[in-house]
Structure 1
Amino acid sequence: MKKVLWWLILGTRGGINRAKIIRKLNERPYNAHQLSEELNVNYRTIRHHIKILEDSEVVKSAGERYGKMYFLSDSMEQSYDDFETIWKQIQYVKK
């Protein structure tokens, strides 16, 4: 999972938005609309990043359509410390 996270966050465009989504989903489940409002990011952009995170098995979902809720996958929850390490390095680079 650690290599996947490095690629998703630093190896591709939009990685910072994906990292912010992961951080939010660590707090509690959200639907795409709620994430859009919480992160002040366009709804379609959130949907795009969620799809990438789902395809990479970082995020899983429950429900259908508008009410579909997103959660961190079990493997992502187990690897959250790795994510935090990556996040701290990103914050260091941005300063």
Structure 2
Amino acid sequence: MNKVFLWWLIAGSKGGENRARIILELKNRPYNANKLAKKLSLDYKTIRHHMDVLIENNLVKSTGQAYGALYFLTDEMEKVYDKFLEIWEEFKENEDK
């Protein structure tokens, strides 16, 4: 996974900030969609949409399809997590201006 792709997914597309917030939370521990929605103060359907995008792009994996499935970062995402943090920091700096 390259840095350009991460830039697009986080800073260059609608919903990127929420996807980044999800990744940050999943780095700390696994969550199901309902608990993640509460933690991030987002609608459950919004979380599900972003999880689908993250799964489709091999950044997040789940324990299954059921309501209570837990979500984790993939090994691929773990490998590029430092790049992700660089992008996130720069994104946040630009948002504050």
Question: Is the TM value for this pair above 0.5?
Answer: yes
Once the 2 structures are TM-superposed, how far is the Cα of residue 10 of structure 1 from its aligned partner?
1.3
Once the 2 structures are TM-superposed, how far is the Cα of residue 94 of structure 1 from its aligned partner?
1.4
TM-score (norm 1): 0.95
| Superposed CA RMSD | 0.9
Moved beyond 2 Å, runs of 4+: none
Q: Superposition pairs for residues 52-91 of structure 1, below 5 Å? A: 52-91=53-92
When you count strand as a share of all residues, which structure comes out higher?
Answer: 1
Alignment-derived partner of residue 31 in structure 1: 32
Once the 2 structures are TM-superposed, how far is the Cα of residue 3 of structure 1 from its aligned partner?
2.5
TM-score (norm 2): 0.94
Q: Deviations over 1:60-91 (max 9, x none)?
A: 11134111110000010011000000010011
Matched AA of 1:34: K
When you count helix as a share of all residues, which structure comes out higher?
Answer: 1
Alignment-derived partner of residue 16 in structure 1: 17
- How many residue pairs get aligned? The number is 95
